[in-house]
Amino acid sequence: MADVGALNSADIASDAGTRDLVGPRGARPTRALSRRNIFLYGTLFVVAVYYLLPLYVMIVTSLKGMPEIRLGNVFSPPLEITFEPWVKAWATACTGLNCDGLSRGFWNSVRITVPSVILSIAIASLNGYALSLWRFKGANVFFTILIVGAFIPYQVMLYPIVIILREIGLYGSLSGLVLVHTIFGMPILTLLFRNYFSSVPEELFKAARVDGAGFWGIYFKIMLPMSLPIFVVALILQVTGIWNDFLFGVVYTRPETYPMTVQLNNIVNAVQGVKEYNVNMAATLLTGLVPLIVYFVSGKLFVRGIAAGAVKG
Amino acid sequence: MPQQSRPSQLFRNLHAKIAAIPMILTAAVVFAGGTLWTVVYSFTNSGLLPRLNFVGLAQYERLWSTPRWLVSIENLFIYGVGMLIFSLVIGFILAALLDQKIRFENTFRTIFLYPFALSFIVTGLVWQWILNPEFGIQGVVRGLGWESFSFNPLYSPDIVIYGILIAALWQSTGLVMCLMLAGLRGIDEEIWKAARVDGIPAWKTYLFVVIPMMRPVFITALVIIATGIVKVYDLVVAQTSGGPGISSEVPAKYVYDMMFSSQNLGQGFAASTMMLLSVLIVVIPWAYLEFGGKKRHG
């Protein structure tokens, strides 16, 4: 990875001096405009344009007025930039009878995501800690069920959870959805933390035990402070995952407590009324903004998160 | 684990057990219990409310004679095959291109992966707009002079599923690329040197040396894509709502509609059990291959 960084900063003048000291290490001062390079960068560039196109379309559409949209096409840049669609999407767009825009969905999503993320990470990190360092009899049986459970389509467990939530009086409430997110985040997060804590040197753990630290003492005083990176990875994984959820939101909440994704879908795919494409795209972009910011800020940690989640999952 | 003290067996590691209670409850009650519950109730004639009135395989017989379910299965099959082939091929090619010691690798990777951060709802809605027949790709090409140009997947029952496939590929090939890139980076540099010395062209080295070496990465990617395929739901809801007519329905949507809007729980349970079955067909052989040897001391 350090190699990649050096390659990328190669054109920064200040870097050049230090690089010269190390001397040329690679084997290949090839010509910049070889046929191979034109093909390589050309392909990558075309593909990159393709991947960026939808984002571009979202942005330009959300900045146009409706008359301009009816005249032009989706790719043409706005002649007259207007932020009205954004305001409307946020504050006055209608879903059914409510006309207070996406803002309600946004705050619902915040109220869902924050406690879900905290609760799921707290529980899963304790699970992982118990599974890696304090193994008890039968622990692996439950862990195996948990991991197998990660592959079961959610549809199979949708209705039993409706019953469970109804029995404990949380069906339709935000707390109920928080519980659902905690449950379904558990397999992947537990795995993540278990693998991480397993790599902690055992001497450290033994020394702490000799010094009289117990289960909670070791967790809070030793494991927690030294495993901040994995907590950040878990945080990224959960924030984007829970924010993007649609299925659980639509099943376990009521219209007043719909998360942003569900409300967005209701606004855009509303059957009645004239379609306002600019407002729709502004709303879509608003909903995608949170995970996009998380993605662009977290960079490499995001990749690590999905790799950690994916490779073993 | 050595265990000498007999009397305190239950209280050994008491705190660890307390901390693991949420996990135990989740695994036993929700995952194992819930799955079993659904499978059992799929043999009943539950309608609005679940009832234990067994009717044998009646729900399954009805399921497999419902046109909407058959369309769903056909769509899932096309979507699944398309997803598997294209995301593996595109993901691998992109990873191989990025692995050529190029400049701006991070920039390109960031661009290819960002759709993966977006939800399927956002993905579906954007592509619904881009594929809009009046203003989208079709409209643009017609505006350029090709009046007879036709590319309108979202309103053509025969090809609507390919319109969804395009959006899904845009969203998720970045992930496959990332996995493949990690796999390629794990290949020993010596292999490349040896291939170069022997004068083997690069594409041949990829095809006959590198790809076979990356078997575990391919299998992991395969399992991730496959489990994702069966779950596809939000994308269809956002992009087409199953339309036109029923031509882009998928099993997950069938389950949801049966359970929560048609008050036909039995059908929902039977359909979700079929989904479970299809996942098990993929996962069990994989788990057996990957963990079969280790299971013994587990």
For B16-80, give the DSSP string: HHHHTHHHHHIIIIIIIIHHHHHHHHTTB---SS----B-TTHHHHHHTT-HHHHHHHHHHHHHH
Residues A149 and A193 in one domain: yes
What is the gyration radius of the CA atoms in chain B, in angstroms? 24
Of A136, A160, A291, nearest to B13 by CB-CB distance is: A136
Residues B170 and B262 in one domain: yes
Higher pLDDT, B8 or B37: B37
B48 in a domain, yes or no? no
A6 in a domain, yes or no? no
Residues A32 and A107 in one domain: no
Residues A63 and A114 in one domain: no
3-state secondary structure (DSSP) of residue A172: strand
How far apart are alpha carbons B224 and A158 in whole angstroms?
21
Residues A265 and A156 in one domain: yes
A90 in a domain, yes or no? no
Given a cut of 70, the residues of chain A with pLDDT beneath it are: 1-32, 306-313
Residues A58 and A137 in one domain: no
What is the gyration radius of the CA atoms in chain A, in angstroms? 25
A88 in a domain, yes or no? no
pLDDT in tens, B66-120: 999 999 999 999 999 999 999 999 999 999 999 888 888 889 999 999 999 999 9
Residues A117 and A77 in one domain: no
Residues B36 and B93 in one domain: no
Q: What's A255's domain CATH number?
A: 1.10.3720.10
Report the pLDDT value the prediction gives residue B103, as an integer from 0 to 100: 86
Instruction: Dig out the tokens for B289 from the structure.
Output: 């291959």
pLDDT in tens, B21-76: 888 898 889 999 999 999 999 999 888 888 888 898 999 999 999 999 999 999 99
A9 in a domain, yes or no? no
Q: Is A307's CB within 8 Å of B182's CB? A: yes
Residues B5 and B121 in one domain: no
pTM: 0.86
Given the structure tokens 């439950």, which residue do they identify? A142
Is residue B271 exposed (0-12), middle (13-18) or buried (19+ Cβ within 10 Å)? buried
Residues B146 and B208 in one domain: yes
A17 in a domain, yes or no? no
Of A73, A127, A151, nearest to B139 by CB-CB distance is: A73
Nearest-neighbour CA in chain A from B24: distance (Å): 6
CA distances from B262 to A3, A176, B35, B60, B267 (A): 57, 23, 21, 17, 10
Question: Which residue range is the domain that position A272 belongs to?
Answer: 103-312
Report the pLDDT value the prediction gives residue A32, as an integer from 0 to 100: 64
Residues A177 and A218 in one domain: yes
A67 in a domain, yes or no? yes
Question: Which residue range is the domain that position B140 belongs to?
Answer: 59-297
How far apart are alpha carbons A275 and A278 in whole angstroms?
9
Chain A CB within 8 Å of residue B229 CB: no
CA dihedral of residues B211, B214, B218, B221 (deg, nearest 10): -130
pLDDT in tens, A157-206: 999 999 999 999 998 889 999 999 999 999 888 988 988 888 888 888 88
Residues contacting residue A307 through CB under 8 Å, at least 6 positions apart: B178, B179, B182
Residues B74 and B132 in one domain: yes
Report the pLDDT value the prediction gives residue B130, as an integer from 0 to 100: 92
Residue whose C-alpha is closest to residue B34's, from A177, A186, A149: A149
Looking at beta carbons, which residues of chain A come within 8 Å of B26? 146, 149, 183, 186
Residue whose C-alpha is closest to residue B22's, from A90, A83, A137, A131: A131
B26 in a domain, yes or no? yes
The dihedrals phi and psi of B9, each to the nearest 5 degrees, come to: -55, -45
Residues A185 and A278 in one domain: yes
Share of chain B above pLDDT 90, in %: 46
The sign of the dihedral angle between the CA atoms of B52, B53, B59, B61 is: positive
3-state secondary structure (DSSP) of residue A98: strand
A19 in a domain, yes or no? no
Residues B36 and B77 in one domain: no
B64 in a domain, yes or no? yes
Report the pLDDT value the prediction gives residue A6, as an integer from 0 to 100: 39
Residues B16 and B65 in one domain: no
Residues A43 and A109 in one domain: no
> In total, how many domains does chain B have?
2
Average pLDDT over residues B179-185: 89
**A46 → chain B, closest CA residue:** B108
Report the pLDDT value the prediction gives residue A2, as an integer from 0 to 100: 38
The sign of the dihedral angle between the CA atoms of A299, A300, A303, A305 is: negative
Residues B20 and B151 in one domain: no
Report the pLDDT value the prediction gives residue B235, as an integer from 0 to 100: 94
Q: Report the length, in residues, of chain A.
A: 313
Of B16, B35, B112, nearest to A136 by CB-CB distance is: B16
> In total, how many domains does chain A have?
2
3-state secondary structure (DSSP) of residue A253: strand
CB B205 within 8 A of CB B195: yes
Residues β-bridged to residue A95? A98
Report the pLDDT value the prediction gives residue A149, as an integer from 0 to 100: 84
Task: Grade residue B186 by pLDDT with cuts at 50, 70 and 90.
Answer: confident
Q: Is A299's CB within 8 Å of B182's CB? A: no
Higher pLDDT, B292 or A88: A88
Q: Which of residues 151-170 of B touch A (CB under 8 A)?
A: 170
Q: Which of residues 60-99 of B touch A (CB under 8 A)?
A: 94, 97-98
How many CB atoms neighbour CB A282 within 10 A?
26
Residues A145 and A271 in one domain: yes
For B257-280, give the DSSP string: HHHHTS--HHHHHHHHHHHHHHHH
A161 in a domain, yes or no? yes
Of A8, A127, A288, nearest to B118 by CB-CB distance is: A288
Residue whose C-alpha is closest to residue A86's, from A54, A106, A63, A113: A63
**A45 → chain B, closest CA residue:** B108
